[in-house]
A and B are shown apart, each in its own frame.
With several copies, the nearest count.
Chain A
Amino acid sequence: MADLESFRAETRAWLEANCPEEMRQPIRDDDDVCWGGRNVKFKSEAQKLWLERMGAKGWTVPEWPKQYGGGGLDRAEAKVLAEEMRRIKARSPLSSFGIWMLGPALLKYGNEAQKLEHLPKIARGEIRWCQGYSEPGAGSDLASLRTSAEDKGDHYLVNGSKVWTSYADKADWIFCLVRTDPTAPKHLGISFLLFDMASEGVSTSPIKLISGSSPFCQTFFDNVKVPKENLMGEPGKGWTIAKYLLTHERNMIGGSDSTGGGQRDSVSNIARKLIGLDAAILADTALRTDIARHEMNALAFSLTMERVLAEAKAGQDTGALSSMLKYYGTELNKERMELLMSIRGSDGLTWEGEEKGEGDLARSWLRSRANSIEGGTSEVQLNIIAKRVLDLPGA
């Protein structure tokens, strides 16, 4: 414990000295989030400095081993770091699918050369990754994917296309599910391939969403040559890696990241500001009932995340519960956005107006509708719970 306290003191001092003042301000818009990559455009010198300093210490990925660019911290130390960052309201230096998704899979399934090659670049924000899972017309049905990787001796020849690749137009590399054995049954012929988006034959086309933004792309592969050493794990075992990785994604979407964590203002606080009180209760009693019901569920849900984490830490088996967190968390977030739209009334309908930020709520609301579709639809999560947790029979 004494060690931990001295670690805390050192950490606090280092953060005080190294975290630029600007990086201690709340995130205002998308530009404030740093995604790194070859073509990174830093919004400010402070943002650049903060990434470099944290990357150099490995604290963008505190628990990864030092030889792979990580901080080499144990769980307790990582918690101290997180607490100390929260204390000074330090921003996360780097947002990255490499950190959230590929990294954990690489650590588990990658070979030593792959780990040494890719993990440090992820940690320092040098390479930005995207994910190639879904295919046009396949939706949640990942097992029916058709993108082929033909074995050409020293390389694979990749043909096909992927859809819903987040920020593929901005990414440097892709981790991609491909079919290496066209004769094997559905799940079995799939492999997990890493390759450079700058390879010849790769092209991307952004998908415009109902919210007006284009965070996703369709990505096309036309005779893309990928070196054989870029295969991760065993050939035909891509499905296992994908499932492992999807679990991480589900936790991310269902969890505090995209449904927002403690930093968001509560629905009732927003309602109180906008609608006001009447005799100490919210002036709109029907909305109050709905808000209270929502907030109770949101609170019970966040306690459930806390409990699942605590149980996992205590060594209990919680693996199949990621579907629950994904399902319930995304449905709650949609409900939250619907309530905010109701609370804001006609003001929430604005798409474009004279002031900056008008239209943000409507866009966020529309964006939230995708929560229960991306990363496995709510229906797929319920199927998984029914089959894997409840062990109900197949149809």
Chain B
Amino acid sequence: MALVLTEDQQMIRDSAEGFFKDEAPVSQHRALRDAKDATGFSRDVWTRMAGMGFAGVLVPEAHGGADMGHVAAGIILEAMGKNLSAAPMLSTAVLGATALRAGTPEQQAKYLPLIAQGAHLLALAADEAARHKPSHVATTATPSGNGFRLNGVKGFVLDGHVADTLIVAARTDGETDDRAGITLFLVNPKADGVKIDRRSMVDSRNAAKVTLSDVQVDGADVLGNVGEGFAILEKMLDAGRACLAAEMLGVSGQAFATTVDYLKQREQFGQKIGSFQALQHRAAHLFCEIELARSATLKALQALDEGSDRAPMFVSLAKAKAGDVAILATNEGVQMHGGIGMTDEYDIGFFMKRARAAQETFGDSAFHGDRIARQLGY
């Protein structure tokens, strides 16, 4: 596959960019933040995103989805990153849809159409360590009745506060850090024993702490095979990581564009500050870095669409590179804006906050650098 967007994908990009710029711009993010909105996003926008086919971007057509693939999903997330649009796109349309595609025909028929319609929200309850380590699952699932009883505590459950269904990773076998013995469960957050504590984050999004105390699930709620959940989990995470890379690419791109504009307008010592060579060189270097992040991200998304064996490596590359670049782009953006970049009144700080949160989600660049090195055998 040529490392370039197809004409179809360019059309998706144009329509996604138009949509989020009009329907969910940074000003909406600011308004939600100021209102301390309990949902953290606009349900109305989410419904319209479903109408555009975005919610069903990874849902098969047979289940009412648009089935446009990962490159398209990344394009949508990049446009969201540019506008800091908040919506349960990652948790539901990417992670949720990827998970359910591994489900039974009944599970698929039940959930996938609802996902595509924007009528059902999912959240992944996997992380237990503050530093991402997906095999670190101490939450237990012990046989009970016709199913299992779940006990444990999950942190950093993105959109957990609004989820209609939680996808919970729990251990049916093995030791805490083993990959084998992990099983995924579809859990109703209203079930007895489920406690959800919403936490607002630095980027004004929400990640819940989910406490499971003797939560009873039945056999039909197992996703995939018992003890083999890690493979599905990795698939979900890789789709999520690649899409986060795309979102961070949007964050970097917009932060950079805003900064370059500022360099062209702002005067100091009687000159446009964009004429200072030290800033020019830093901006030019940053331009190159963003281009590298773009290439890595597109490759990762394509590799997922192709089902390539090397997809995990390219995904880690994209997540690490786009993450580091987003940190650099937003830090440079704030520094080059000077004092006003530190004020809440300007948007550049929002981009910095989102970059940091996305960097810490599903493994930072240190995690992914390690993962690539292991994949390459060193």
Contacts and interface: CB of A to CB of B under 8 A. Distances in A.
B292 A297 contact: yes
Interface string A264-298: 00101001101101001110111111111101110
Contacts of B3: 303, 306-307, 310
Interface in B340-359: 341-345, 349-350, 352-353, 356-357
Nearest to A372: B335
A343 B132 CA distance: 11
The size bracket of the interface on A is 35 or more
Contact of B295 (A286, A304, A381): A304
B200 to A, nearest CB: 5
A392 B369 contact: no
A293 B369 contact: yes
A140 B200 contact: no
B331 interface: yes
Interface stretch (B18-26, B56-64, B107-115, B123-131): B123-131
B370 A285 contact: yes
B253 to A, nearest CB: 13
B227 interface: no
Contacts, number: 243
B317 A346 contact: no
B264 A393 contact: yes
Contact of B344 (A209, A271, A290, A353): A209
A41 interface: no
Contacts of A358: 199
Interface in A315-374: 316, 321, 324, 327-328, 334, 338, 341-354, 358-359, 362, 365-366, 369-370, 372-374
Contacts of A285: 370
Interface in B267-322: 268-272, 274-281, 283-285, 287-288, 291-296, 298-299, 317, 320-321
Contact of A382 (B278, B345, B361): B278
Interface stretch (A42-50, A55-63, A222-230, A383-391): A383-391
A348 B343 contact: no
A344 B378 contact: no
A300 B338 contact: no
Nearest to B349: A210
Contacts of B298: 303, 307
B4 A346 contact: no
B334 to A, nearest CB: 5
B285 A349 contact: no
Interface string B360-378: 1100101101101110111
Which residue among A286, A293, A338, A379 has the maximum number of chain B CB atoms within 10 Å of its CB?
A: A379
A135 B229 CA distance: 59
Contacts of A359: 202
B263 interface: yes
Nearest to A383: B280
B2 A310 contact: yes
A299 interface: yes
A207 B268 CA distance: 22
B376 A275 contact: no
Contacts of A389: 284, 287
Nearest to B318: A300
Contact of B342 (A272, A349, A370): A370
A153 interface: no
The size bracket of the interface on B is 35 or more
Interface string B1-30: 011100000000000000000000000000
A74 interface: no
A259 interface: no
B129 A345 contact: yes
Contacts of A348: 130, 360
A288 to B, nearest CB: 6
Contacts of B345: 207-208
Closest 10 CB pairs of A and B: A210-B349, A386-B280, A385-B284, A286-B366, A345-B130, A345-B131, A303-B295, A346-B156, A347-B130, A310-B4
Interface of A: 134, 138-141, 143-144, 163-164, 207-210, 212, 266, 268, 271-272, 274-275, 277, 280-282, 284-293, 295-297, 299-301, 303-304, 306-307, 310-311, 313-314, 316, 321, 324, 327-328, 334, 338, 341-354, 358-359, 362, 365-366, 369-370, 372-374, 377-379, 381-383, 385-387, 389-395
Given A346-B207, A383-B281, 10 more contacts: A296-B369, A303-B296, A345-B131, A350-B200, A351-B199, A351-B204, A354-B199, A382-B280, A382-B281, A393-B264
Interface of B: 2-4, 127, 129-132, 155-156, 197, 199-204, 207, 260, 263-264, 268-272, 274-281, 283-285, 287-288, 291-296, 298-299, 317, 320-321, 327, 331, 334-335, 338-339, 341-345, 349-350, 352-353, 356-357, 360-361, 364, 366-367, 369-370, 372-374, 376-378
30 contacts: A139-B268, A139-B339, A268-B376, A296-B321, A304-B291, A304-B292, A313-B2, A316-B4, A321-B291, A324-B288, A345-B129, A345-B130, A346-B360, A350-B199, A350-B201, A354-B197, A354-B199, A366-B349, A366-B353, A373-B342, A378-B335, A382-B278, A382-B280, A383-B277, A383-B280, A385-B288, A386-B280, A390-B283, A392-B260, A393-B264
